[in-house]
C-alpha cells in the first residue's frame, strides 16, 4: 500500500504545494505534483525546470511552494540536482547538516525540459548514478510557450509548429520513447504513470523515492488548451489513453519489466483521439489512413511491452 497521506504538511502547517497558483482549469499537473509530494515521506528539495509548473506557481512576488524550491533553465535541471545532491552528501559526511535523516531530491520538468532541451543533462546525471527522482509531467508539447511540437508530441497531432492542413496531417514523426531511453541507462527504477491513476502513481513514487540510485517517472497529464478539450473531460480522456494501451502503465525495476495495470477491455485508440481537437483532422478526408497507422503502432508497442513483462 502507498503511504499517500490525506494531506502532507510542513512544520508551519501548510501543504507542500498549496492553492492559489495560476495553472489552467482542468490542468492535470497539480494532480501529478500533489500526488508526488504528498507520497514522499522524507523532507524534499524540489528542482523545477522552466515550464508550465514553474511559470504558474511562482509569479513574483508570490509562490505556491512551501518546500525548498529552485527554478532553473529548461536544459539543466538534472545537472543542478546533481550538484545539490553531491553538496548534501559532502555536508552530511562532515557533519554540517542540522537535521538527521534522508532528503529526497525531486526534479519536476515538462516534456520539453525532459525529452528535448534537458535530455543531455538528464542522461549524464542518470549515467553518473546520482540519488534523485526525476519526474516528467508529459503533456506532449511546449504548452506554456504556444503549443509547439516536442519530441513527446504524438504522430498526427496538430500543433502550431506541426499544423494540419493541405500539405500535412499533423506531426510527421512518432513520439520519442523517453521511458525506454531512461531504461537504457540501467538505473534502479523507471516507470510510466498517468495523472488519472493516482494510486498507481503514488505507489510508484514510493518505490522510486526509496531506490538505490536515480529514478525516473514519465507521467502522462493533460493540457485542455493544447489538447483542445473541455476541462471536465480530462479524466475520461486520460483513462482512454491508458485503456487503449496508447500509454501503458508499467515499471522497470533493476531491468525487470512489470505491468502495473492491464485494461479489462482494450478500447480502440480512436476513443483516446476523438475527444481532442488536436486530432480532429484525422476524422475527415484522408485522415483514416493515419488513424490506421496510429492503431497499428499502438498494437505493436503493446505486444512488445507485454512480451517483455512476461519474460
| CATH 1.20.1250.20 is the classification of domain 29-310 | no
Mean pLDDT of the chain: 93
Q: Where along the chain do its domains lie?
A: 29-310
Q: Measuring CA to CA, which residue among 166, 80, 78, 92 is closest to residue 122? A: 78
pLDDT at residue number 200: 98
**Tens of pLDDT along 259-307?**
999 999 999 999 999 999 999 999 998 899 999 999 999 999 999 999 9
Q: What is the pLDDT of residues 49-83, one digit of tens each?
A: 999 999 989 988 888 898 999 999 999 999 999 99
CA 143/CA 33 separation, integer angstroms: 17
Least confident among 9-13, 33-37, 165-169, 241-245: 9-13
- Give the residue from 149, 243, 252, 158 showing the smallest Cα distance to 204: 252
Query: 52 CB contacts (<8 Å, ≥6 apart)?
Result: 23, 27, 29, 110, 137, 139, 143, 144, 223
Give the pLDDT band (50/70/90) at residue 9. very low
pLDDT band at 155 (very low <50, low <70, confident <90, very high): very high
Confidence of residue 4 (pLDDT cuts 50, 70, 90): very low
What percentage of the chain carries pLDDT values higher than 90?
Answer: 81
Q: What DSSP element (H or E) covers 56?
A: helix 52-57
For the cut 50, the answer to whether the pLDDT of residue 227 exceeds it is yes
For residues 124-139, give the mean pLDDT: 98
Amino acid at each position: 500500500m502507498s503511504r499517500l497521506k490525506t494531506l502532507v504538511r510542513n512544520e508551519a502547517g501548510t501543504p507542500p504545494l498549496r492553492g492559489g497558483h495560476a495553472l489552467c482549469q482542468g490542468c492535470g499537473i497539480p494532480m501529478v505534483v500533489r500526488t508526488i509530494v504528498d507520497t514522499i515521506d522524507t523532507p524534499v528539495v524540489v528542482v523545477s525546470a522552466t515550464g508550465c509548473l514553474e511559470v504558474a506557481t511562482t509569479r513574483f512576488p508570490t509562490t505556491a511552494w512551501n518546500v525548498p524550491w529552485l527554478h532553473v533553465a529548461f536544459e539543466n535541471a538534472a545537472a543542478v540536482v546533481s550538484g545539490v545532491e553531491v553538496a548534501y552528501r559532502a555536508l552530511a559526511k562532515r557533519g554540517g547538516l542540522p537535521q538527521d535523516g534522508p532528503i529526497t531530491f525531486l526534479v519536476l520538468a515538462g516534456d520539453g525540459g525532459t525529452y528535448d532541451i534537458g535530455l543531455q543533462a538528464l542522461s549524464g546525471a542518470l549515467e553518473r548514478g546520482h540519488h534523485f527522482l526525476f519526474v516528467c509531467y508529459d503533456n506532449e508539447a511546449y504548452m506554456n510557450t504556444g503549443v509547439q511540437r516536442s519530441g513527446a508530441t504524438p504522430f498526427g497531432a496538430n500543433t502550431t509548429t506541426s499544423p494540419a492542413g493541405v500539405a500535412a496531417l499533423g506531426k510527421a514523426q512518432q513520439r520519442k520513447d523517453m521511458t525506454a531511453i531512461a531504461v537504457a541507462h540501467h538505473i534502479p527504477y523507471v516507470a510510466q504513470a498517468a495523472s488519472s491513476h493516482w494510486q498507481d502513481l503514488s505507489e510508484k513514487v514510493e518505490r522510486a523515492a526509496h531506490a538505490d540510485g536515480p529514478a525516473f517517472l514519465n507521467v502522462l497529464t493533460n493540457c485542455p488548451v493544447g489538447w483542445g478539450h473541455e476541462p471536465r473531460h480530462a479524466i475520461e480522456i486520460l483513462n482512454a489513453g491508458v485503456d487503449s494501451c496508447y500509454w501503458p502503465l508499467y515499471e522497470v525495476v533493476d531491468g525487470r519489466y512489470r505491468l502495473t495495470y492491464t485494461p479489462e477491455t482494450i478500447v480502440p485508440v480512436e476513443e483516446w483521439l476523438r475527444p481532442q481537437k488536436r486530432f480532429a483532422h484525422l476524422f475527415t478526408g484522408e485522415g483514416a489512413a493515419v488513424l490506421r497507422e496510429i492503431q497499428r503502432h499502438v498494437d505493436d508497442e503493446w505486444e512488445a511491452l507485454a512480451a517483455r513483462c512476461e519474460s
